Structure 1
Amino acid sequence: MSSYGELLLVEDDVALAQWVKEFLENEGFSVTHIINGDEVLPTLIDKKFDLVLLDLMLPGLNGLEVCKEIRRISQIPVIMLTARAEEIDEVIGLEIGANDYLAKPVKPRVLLARLKSALRITNLNSATAQNELIFGALKIHKSSKRVIFDGESISLTSGLFDFLCLLAENAGEVVSREKVFQELKSREYDGLDRRFDVMISTLRKHFNENDRGEERIKTVWGKGYLFVPDAW
């Protein structure tokens, strides 16, 4: 059976938790069960999970407090469970960062469908994030090789785009000439070739650095090139 990932089940009703755990494990999840709300953050820090199924009424921190704490450190999907069906609980839960909300008793197939949906959305968002690099007014779409700056499309050659993308992927770190040549030319830097210095100047013109007096892409003499992430 295919694995859907690691799920953290936070539920103080032991009988219910055992049923949910067995059902989800049969469906391909790996489930860790804890009872107390105070245990959630240490557990998330200690082990990587893909999703949290969180009861509202818990010993220690309640589900709403736990969800708020989770959102301080992670964007992991959180689905809340509760025997209380009041609308206000649902609204508060969603406002503090829960991804979904189910009232008990939960039908097994409904629960499974909601979990799979949360994971699909998370995977889609993750894929989108990996395909896009965003720094202030700059957006780089890697798959389509499009660059948007200040709301306008910037036309770059393939070589300039690949160079910009490499620098942006290493934002805040100096990228050596040796690494640039290895990544983009698949050969060693000979110590003389200055083509990328010229390309730095061209990129600066595209992004109007001279007009604004801002150094968004720097040449660090003797070391390489630096994409400044907070200058866009």
Structure 2
Amino acid sequence: MANILIVEDEPRLAQLLADYLRHSHFQPEHTASAREAEQRVRDGRFDAVLLDLMLPDGDGMEVCKAIRRFSDVPVLMITARVEEVDRLLGLEIGADDYICKPFSPREVVARVKAVLRRARGEARDDGPGLELDRHRFEAVHGGARVPLTAIEFELLATLARQPGRIWSRDQLMDVIYPDHRVVSDRTIDSHIRKLRRKLSEGLTGDHDWIGSVYGVGYRLQTPDDA
């Protein structure tokens, strides 16, 4: 059963959406706060987020941008802003869909299903790459599954967004420590070392998935790249 976070400050609308989602065998949760929404996504394992743009304590656009710094969870914006420039901006900053009010709750449910189908289709990989199972925090390849910690999973997910791209320690620290806590940059090295060992020992094939570039950072390397 997919978990859906509803971020909406109109109680009646939020309840209506929750009822329709529940009827379609989803598990909805609700918050009316922009600040709480970001934290709930960070702490929970949601399959999609329905995000209102006009919230009492913040702008949904900023919430979407914040979520995109640490998560690929599908985000569907629901808003009264109907101008084309708003729709384009929402999609450009990482939203997966943009639904204008007024709307039919059935349409929202249909769009959630469509977004989840696309997300699941992108997650499957029949070639040489990794599959990342966010629900279980596992890396999958060739039938083998490797359980990861939350930090290890986010590191691997970040590297996997652009295989071959070199990520500096500072960039990776911004992903796993978005609160900008003071930690040594060698903390990244420690996490990468453990992650590399888990992938090497747990996945099929003799391949080092994470390459290091001396003095620069790390990158994901597929078997075709190595």
Do they fold alike, i.e. is TM over 0.5? yes
Counterpart residue identity of residue 15, structure 1: R
Partner of 1:173: 197
1:217 aligns with none
2:34 is equivalent to residue 37 of structure 1? yes
Indicate the residue corresponding to 2:128 in structure 1. 132
Letter in 2 for 1:36: S
Match of 1:150 in 2: none
Tell me what 2:56 maps to. 59
- Matched residue, 2:90: 93
Cα shift at 1:173: 2.2
Which amino acid is 2:57 matched to?
A: G
Q: What one-letter code is carried by the residue in structure 1 that aligns with 2:52?
A: D
- For 2:72, what is the secondary structure of its paired residue? coil
1:230 partnered with 2:211: yes
Q: 1:213 maps to which residue? A: none
Q: 1:55 to 1:171 in 2, by over 3 A?
A: closer
SS in structure 2 of the partner of residue 68 of structure 1: helix
Aligned partners of 1:226 and 1:101: how far apart in 2?
41
Q: Determine if contact 2:16/2:105 at 8 Å carries over to the other structure.
A: no
Compute the displacement of 1:21 (Å). 0.9
1:171-198 alpha-carbon deviations (Å, 9 max, x no partner): 832857xx89xx79xxxxxxxxxxxxxx
User: Could you say which residue in structure 2 is the equivalent of 1:28?
Assistant: 25
TM-score by length of 2: 0.60
Give the SS at the match of 2:9: coil
Q: For the structure 1 residues 73 and 15, does the alpha-carbon distance in structure 2 shift closer, same or farther, using more than 3 Å as the test?
A: same
Number of aligned residues: 152
Amino acid at match of 2:14: A
Q: Deviations over 1:8-34 (max 9, x none)?
A: 000001111111111111111111010
- The answer as to whether partners of 1:171 and 1:227 remain within 8 angstroms in 2 is no
CA contact (8 A) 1:37 1:58 kept: yes
Task: Quote the Cα distance in structure 1 between the aligned partners of 2:122 and 2:103.
Answer: 27
Residues 227 and 52 of structure 1, relative CA distance in 2, 3 Å threshold: same
Verify the 8 A CA contact 1:171 1:228 in the aligned structure 2.
Answer: no
**Other-structure match for 1:12:** 9
**Could you tell me the percent identity over the aligned residues?**
38
CA contact (8 A) 1:80 1:100 kept: yes
Distance in 2 of aligned mates of 1:124 and 1:82: 27
1:67-216 correspondence to structure 2 within 5 Å: 67-128=64-125, 131-133=127-129, 172-173=196-197, 175=200
Q: Deviations over 1:59-114 (max 9, x none)?
A: 22211000000000100000000012111111110000000000011112221111
Compute the TM-score of the two structures, normalised by the length of structure 1: 0.59
Q: 1:172 to 1:111 in 2, by over 3 A?
A: same
2:98 is paired with a residue whose SS is strand
